[in-house]
Amino acid sequence: MKNFPNNLYLLIFSSLIYFSGCSNNSDSEPNFKKAVLPNNFIVRKDIGASLGVNGAKDTNYTDKILVVEGFIGGMKNPFTANRAVFVLGDDSLETCDEISGDSCPTPWDACCEDRRNIVRSTMSVQVIDHNGTIIDGTLEGVGGIEAGKKVKVKGRISNKSTAQSFILNAEQIQLLN
């Protein structure tokens, strides 16, 4: 019975994290340093035939260049604050803006989907420098990159990828919408 309060706090904390997807707490988002990318890193011209996120995760070519297509999302804030990283979701994920009458303020988080499906259908995209270090600064707002945006990303699968944490080292990003 001594563990009851701790277990209750753990349950409440877990519930808050789980259900935070469609909340509207973006009134006071802090401004983070923006990542500085090389010229022509973000383009509108076609960068080639692409796989979806799920298709890319089925391959394991760490030395081959892939082009992966999806949307920036799968969570409320798909960007990291101080590193050039975002979450890319497979187009098979249903976002809230595709549901008639749904007024979720963060439709890209796919909060109406089963969380396990979201994890299976998302990957991390990171921009690294010539030393293999993730570039400082957020990608949010850089060159038109924003949550919900459909993109193609050309890059190589990171050798640090695992089945649970799939990572693509981006070499170029094409904005689709």
Q: 37-66, pLDDT tens digit by residue? A: 999 999 999 999 999 999 998 886 777 899
pLDDT exceeds 80 at position 79: yes
CA–CA separation, 134 and 156 (whole Å): 14
**Nearest C-alpha neighbor of 101 from the set 112, 117, 116:** 112
Residue 77's pLDDT band (boundaries 50, 70, 90)?
very high
Residue with the larger pLDDT of the pair 141 and 115: 141
Architecture of domain 33-175: Beta Barrel (2.40)
Alpha helices per DSSP H over the chain: 4-18, 53-58, 115-120
What one-character DSSP code corresponds to residue 66?
Answer: E
| Predicted TM-score (pTM) of this structure | 0.79
Q: 101-120, pLDDT tens digit by residue? A: 666 788 788 887 788 888 89
Domain ranges in the chain are 33-175
